[in-house]
Amino acid sequence: MIFGIPRETPPFKNTPEYRVGFSPMAARELMLYGAKFYVESKAGEAAGFSDEDYEKAGAMVVYSKEEAYRRADVVLKVRRPQQEEYQYMKEGSTIMGFIHMVTARKEFIKTAQDKKMTIVGYEIMQDEDGRLPVVIPMSEMGGKLSVQIAGRLLESPGGGRGILLGSIPGIPPAEVVILGAGTLGCNAAKSFAAIGANVYVLDIIRGKLNSLVCQAGNSRITTMFSTKHNIEKLVKFADVLICAVLEPGKRSPILITKEMVKSMRRGAVLIDFSIDQGGCSETSKISPSGKFIYTVDGVIHFCMPNATTLVARTATHAISSGIFPFLKIITKKGLNTALKENYILNRGIYVEHGVIKEEYLP
């Protein structure tokens, strides 16, 4: 099996992309099973992986994006290809990555159909229990990263409330509200609580809240059912509001209205990790200019669709470890057999040989 690793193209002018589709360490391991790799020069540079690292692993470094695409049976991406990459997409080939078809350009879908391609999305690969094996490590990262992002945005120079997340004697800590008790929400809750913030987590599934309570122990985490009444009440005093709601393959539900944002404290921070699926606040948006930090009614919004690119090396390792078992199956059995026989891979198919699955039709 021949894999291609092109250098990632940023989705917008001011939204950088430092991650790469597969690490040299993981590539070396997969080559033990007969895989071959063609890597675009400098594809991993921003994540701390040099061309020499890939060459030492046994990969072939090529000097154009087109070659990385056209030599490959399977192209490993982090994000779906951008408009300027459509021309390189090869007839009958496969692309794997975080595709988020629900927000994709119609031209991308049409190109995949016309060229009879297969498109596999990491974000919809699920096991029989509904777990998302590739998303989980990225969500763990996002949850822990949210503390770094929130702390910086709350600082006075950027217009934040000028408060610490944790308390000091005589001064109360920040109030953090998290929508969603999935992997990202739970990791965010535990991380904020660990530095002393007051944390409130809302979800509609009791089992997720029970699980979080068991994990959190005596931490300052309050769990509540996610109702409109509870959300309206909590956002009014939130210093940080985290949106961590995911419905695989679907647009994120809108849980935060414009009126709720207006009711929030000036200088509060709203971080919408659901933005790559459309966002769960009416005020969340992906600007064509790529400006992912902006202010609405005095509330600082962070809506970066590829937030884990801020820690690109760790993110690349997380992606690589998440997809390695499935690429191993593809290498040993062949793509078509692997997609047919492996339940998780099969669930990740958006488009197969040019035919888009009915549930993902635009």
Q: 79 - beta bridge partners?
A: 98
**Which residues touch 214 (CB under 8 Å, ≥6 apart)?**
none
Determine the average pLDDT of the residues in 204-221.
85
Dmax over Cα atoms in the chain, in whole Å? 66
Are the C-beta atoms of 316 and 44 separated by less than 8 Å?
Answer: yes
Does the pLDDT of residue 219 top 90, yes or no?
no
pLDDT digits (tens, 9 = 90+) for 301-332: 999 988 999 999 999 999 999 999 999 999 99
pLDDT digits (tens, 9 = 90+) for 268-306: 999 999 998 889 999 999 876 668 999 999 999 999 988
Confidence (pLDDT) at 218:
67
Q: What is the mean pLDDT of the chain?
A: 94
Share of the chain above pLDDT 90, in %: 85
Are the C-beta atoms of 108 and 80 separated by less than 8 Å?
Answer: yes
Confidence (pLDDT) at 288:
64
Q: The domain 2-131+311-355 belongs to what CATH superfamily?
A: NAD(P)-binding Rossmann-like Domain (3.40.50.720)
Are the C-beta atoms of 167 and 124 separated by less than 8 Å?
Answer: no
Instruction: State the Cα–Cα distance between residues 73 and 120, nearest whole angstrom.
Output: 13
Q: 86-90, 171-175, 304-308: which has the minimum mean pLDDT?
A: 304-308
Fold agreement between 2-131+311-355 and 135-309: yes
Confidence of residue 362 (pLDDT cuts 50, 70, 90): low
Q: 121 - beta bridge partners?
A: 97
Determine the average pLDDT of the residues in 118-147.
94
Q: Nearest to residue 268, comparing CAs of 123, 154, 99?
A: 154
Residue tagged active-site, from 239, 272, 276, 301: 276
Confidence (pLDDT) at 277:
86
**Which residues touch 32 (CB under 8 Å, ≥6 apart)?**
none
CATH code of the domain occupying 135-309: 3.40.50.720
Query: What are the domain boundaries of the chain?
Result: 2-131+311-355, 135-309
Residue tagged active-site, from 51, 100, 239, 272: 100
Confidence (pLDDT) at 95:
98
276 is annotated as an active-site residue: yes
Does the pLDDT of residue 359 top 90, yes or no?
no
53 is annotated as an active-site residue: no
